[in-house]
Structure 1
């Protein structure tokens, strides 16, 4: 029996008979006969799980100009990229942060590079890093607020955040939650 070299190559890569027949536009039974002639076992059926959540991340991103990564996987109604791995849901931002920093993020993760939806690990920050970087920026441009608490009594050390332009704001006052209120 003469076996096509492209069929033999794909069989040795572990592809299924049906996948090869669809890719090469040939008969699946002919592929099965080639597999038997080569003495190769049947391909394992079903979905092959990724080795890690990081592998899933890399499979679902593509590079774009400027060192950015665009998410190509599932996106929620809110526009957040996410994957399910080992029964848990992970957002693309949290995975990117973990790749870059080697730890779980604290609070909310987002990219601060200016490109909407960028999930490049070097561009993603958690609440701690974002607050620190924006506080440094505010101090450099002379916008730092020396107050220990906001007008409603929320401790600045716990609740102060910074806008992109360096202006400080109180998180509970802005979001409408008063969980950090002093008595």
Structure 2
């Protein structure tokens, strides 16, 4: 089986120590996490972990089942890039002098839709939102002009075919209460 990139969405109750228990599932199997993001959801007191790994579908299925068994985990989904809509945020810090003096830099910034986050005399911080490849391309385009600092966020993703987690949570609660 071939490895490919999967996004695992873990919906949980917001409890202390859950990140440690989830990360242990990956470390026991010696699986590297490419990206990790946690955030609240549209359902009060429910959090979402968005985890990106490069693995076989069989391994992702096993990991998802194992995470699903953890206390405080409500539901786990895994998807390929074709099944989701996703983005990441990246911040770039470069010298303000370079931005103001180099016409090429201004063109690059416009081409990638970069926005100014912070403008100071010594440096300027830009942000772009997009997919991994876009961020990498922007990074390569700016490298010749001297990047002081660079960081990218973890992936945030929404499942294309989803009817919304709120509806799924209601169905889930109805099933568990009838058993």
> TM class, shorter-chain normalised?
under 0.3
Please tell me whether Structure 1 or Structure 2 has the larger radius of gyration of its CA atoms. 1
TM-score (norm 1): 0.22
Q: Which has the higher strand share?
A: 2
Higher relative contact order by CA 8 Å / sep ≥ 6: 1 or 2?
Answer: 2
TM-score (norm 2): 0.22
